[in-house]
Amino acid sequence: MPNRLAGETSPYLQQHAENPVDWFPWGEEALTLAKREDKPILLSIGYSACHWCHVMAHESFEDAEVAAVMNRLFVNIKVDREERPDLDQIYQSAQQMLTGRAGGWPLTMFLAPDGTPFFGGTYFPKTPRYGLPGFVDLCRRVAEAWRDKRADIAQQNGELLRALASGARTTTPAGEPTAAPLQLAVERAEQSFDARYGGFGGAPKFPHPAELELLLRRHAATDDARCGEMALATLRKMAEGGLYDQLGGGFCRYSVDERWEIPHFEKMLYDNGPLLRLYADAWRISPEPLFRRVAEETAAWVMREMQAPEDGYFSSLDADSEHEEGKFYVWSREEVSRHGTADEVAVLAAHYGLDRPANFGGRHWHFIVAKPLDEVAAALGKPPAECEALLQSGRAKLFAARERRIRPGRDEKILASWNALMIEGMAHAGRVFGRADWLASARRAMDFTRRTLWRDGRLLATCKDGRAHLNAYLDDYAYLLKASLELLQSGFDADLLEFAEALARALLDRFEDAAGGFFFTSHDHEALIHRVKTGHDNATPSGNGVAAFALQRLAHLTGDMRYQASAGRALRLYCPDMERQPGGFATLLMALEESLVPPTLVVLRGPKAQLADWNEKIASRPWPWAIALGLPAEAGALPAVLEKPLREGVNAWVCSGVKCLEPIDDFTCLERVCKSPELL
C-alpha cells in the first residue's frame, strides 16, 4: 500500500510512496506523533536527481527488514530539499557542526521530537562499507543512545542551538563599504586558479557562475586582463569538457575530476540559467563561436526538454537511467560506428576522443572535445569546412540515436526561484543574440509564474500538476525581481514594472531584518529550530546578494530610495564577511560594486520600430552591465526617472547615479559614451 507520500507534489517524495517505510512528509502530524510517543525522528532529505539518494533508497528504504527497524524505532520523515530549502539549510549546517564534515545528499539526521538534531550523516550503506557503519546497526545504536543518554543529548542539543544562532550575523557594523573586498576577491581567485584546466581548486570542480561573472565584471571595469583570462579560459574548458553535453546542450552539475571530463550527470535548471547568461556575456566580451554555440545549444535544450506545456520550466534531469549513472550519455566505439558513415566516424572519433582510451568505466566514452576541428582536418587531410559538415551530420545521427534510449527521469515540479534563474538567463541571452524565440520562452515562463504562483500579493514556492503551494522563500522573491528587471530590457511592460515593485515591497515587508539583510524565510513562516540569514553563495546565488543587487537597480529605475537604503543595510551587514572571505560572496560583491559605481542607465524614447533597432545594437555591444530601457510613446505612465520627453527619432538619456548627460540622438555618440563611462 502506498504510504503518506503518495499525495505529495514532489516527484522525489512520490518516488518513495511505495516504500515499506512508514514515511511522513514534514508537517504537524509527524511532529505531534513524535512528541506524543516520545520517539526520535529519522529525517531523510534528498532530491529526485540525486544518484546516492537512489542508491540508499534501493539498498535500505525498499528493503522490508530495514523498514521494519525504522518503523519500530523512529517517526520517519522524508523531505525534498528543493521544496523545503529552509529545512535543508538548517540540517545541513547542523550535520556539519555535529560531525565536522561537509554535508550533502542524501542527508540522514536523527532528531529529538522538538526537531533538534543529535546525530547525523549523509549516505549510509545497508551493510558496513566504505568505512561507514551499516544502516540497520546505526539505527539501533541511535535508538539506544536516545533511550539511555537522554541527559547528554539534551545538553548537546542546547549547545547546537546556541551554535546555530551564533552563526547568523545580527548587528550592522559601523562604517561604509569600500572596494577593498573586490580586489581581494580577484587576488584569492588568482591563488586558486587552475591555469591548465580552468576553474578554481581541484576535483571535484563546480561551475560557480557567480564567481566567473564577477571576474568578467572586474575585467570590464578595470581593464584587468587577468580577470578576463581566468573567466574566459574556464568557460572554454567547461564547454569543451564532459561537464557540457556535447550532443544535446546543457551543463551537468559538476565534474568529478579537475579536467571537467567526467561529470556527475544530473542536469539542474539552476546551473543552466546562470550559465546561459554568462556565455552570452562572454560572447559580448570575446565573440568566439564556441560561446555562441554553447548558448544556442543550451537554450535549445531548455526549450526542448525543460519547458512545460503550461510554460514554466521543469526542475532537473536525473543522473541515472536504467539504474546506472550516465548510461544515457555514454557511447561504445561500436555504437558510434553503427550510426555514422566512415568519414563521419573518423571526424567524431578524433574530435571527441574516441581514438583514446575509454574514459568512462573502462569500456565507454563520454564525449569531450579532445582535438580542435582544425587539427582533425589537418590530420585527416580534409578541408576544415568538410570536417565541420561531417561533424554536424554525425552529431545529428548520434543525437537521434540517443533520443531512442531510455531517458533519465525528469523532475517536473516548477519552482519559483529556479524558474526565475532560467527566465533571467533566457531573456538575457535572447536579448544579446537577438533571438525572439528565447525571449518568448522567457516571457511565457514569467507569465506562468505570475498566473500560478503569485496569489494576493505573495508568492508560492512550487507547483506540480496544477497544485501550487508552500510559502515562498527569499530566493523566490529576489531571483524573480532580478529576472523581471532583465525582461524589462527586452521590451518595456508597465505591468511587469509594477510587478517588480510589488516583489520589492514584499521583500522589505516580509523578509527584511531591522539589523540589515534578509531572512531566508518570511516573518510569518512556520517556526523552526533556527531562522537562517546568510549572505554566502551556495549552489545557487545568495538571496541577500541578489536582493541587494536587484533592489539597487530598481531604485535607479523608479527613484524610490527605500530600495537603495535596504540594499545598503544588507551590504553594510555583510561587509565584514566579504572582507574576510570574499571568495564565497561573489553575488554580494557584485551588488557592492554597483553600490560604489552605479551602473550606466540608458533610457531610450522614440518610435517603437526605431527603438527596437537601437535596443538590438545595444544588446550586442560589450557593455553587459548597463541597463537599457526602450520606452515607446505608448509605454503609459512612467516613474519620473524614466519620464523623458518624446522628440523626433530616437533619443537616449544616459545616467549614472545622479549624473546625466544631455540627450543623444546619434547611436555612434551613444556607443562612445557607453564605452567610456568616465565621460559621465
Residue 679 has pLDDT above 70, yes or no: no
The answer to whether residues 340 and 433 touch, using CB atoms and an 8 Å cutoff, is no
Mean pLDDT, rounded, of the chain: 95
pLDDT tens sequence across 614-628: 999 999 887 778 899
Residue 169 has pLDDT above 70, yes or no: no
Residues contacting residue 62 through CB under 8 Å, at least 6 positions apart: 19, 20
pLDDT value for 273? 98
Mean pLDDT of 303-328: 96
Q: How far apart are the first and last CA of the chain?
A: 70
DSSP, collapsed to helix, strand or coil, labels residue 296 as helix
The pTM for the full model equals 0.96
Residues contacting residue 487 through CB under 8 Å, at least 6 positions apart: 423, 424, 427, 442, 443, 446, 493, 496
Mean pLDDT of 121-129: 95
Residue 635 has pLDDT above 80, yes or no: yes
pLDDT value for 257? 97
Q: What angle do CA 177, 179, 181 make, to 5 degrees?
A: 90
Residue 657 has pLDDT above 90, yes or no: no
Residue 458 has pLDDT above 80, yes or no: yes
- In CATH, what is the architecture of 329-404? Orthogonal Bundle (1.10)
CATH numeric code, 181-321+411-596: 1.50.10.10
Say how many C-beta atoms besides its own lie within 10 A of residue 665's C-beta: 14
Mean pLDDT of 7-23: 96
pLDDT band at 678 (very low <50, low <70, confident <90, very high): low
Q: Give whole-number Cα distances, 264 to 88, 249, 405, in Å.
A: 21, 15, 19
Calpha distance 339→46 (Å, rounded): 38
Residue 167 has pLDDT above 90, yes or no: no
Share of the chain above pLDDT 90, in %: 91
Say how many C-beta atoms besides its own lie within 10 A of residue 136's C-beta: 18
pLDDT band at 31 (very low <50, low <70, confident <90, very high): very high
Residue 199 has pLDDT above 90, yes or no: yes
Residue 212 has pLDDT above 70, yes or no: yes
pLDDT tens sequence across 559-572: 999 999 999 999 99
Share of the chain above pLDDT 70, in %: 99
pLDDT value for 624? 76
Calpha distance 17→61 (Å, rounded): 11
Say how many C-beta atoms besides its own lie within 10 A of residue 406's C-beta: 9
pLDDT band at 258 (very low <50, low <70, confident <90, very high): very high
pLDDT tens sequence across 512-528: 999 999 999 999 999 99
Helix H segments across 16-134? 28-37, 51-56, 64-73, 85-99
pLDDT tens sequence across 71-103: 999 999 999 999 999 999 999 999 999 999 989
CATH numeric code, 4-166: 3.40.30.10
pLDDT band at 664 (very low <50, low <70, confident <90, very high): very high
The answer to whether residues 261 and 368 touch, using CB atoms and an 8 Å cutoff, is yes
Residue 677 has pLDDT above 70, yes or no: no
pLDDT band at 147 (very low <50, low <70, confident <90, very high): very high
Helix H segments across 511-638? 543-558, 561-580, 586-596, 608-620
Calpha distance 441→304 (Å, rounded): 11
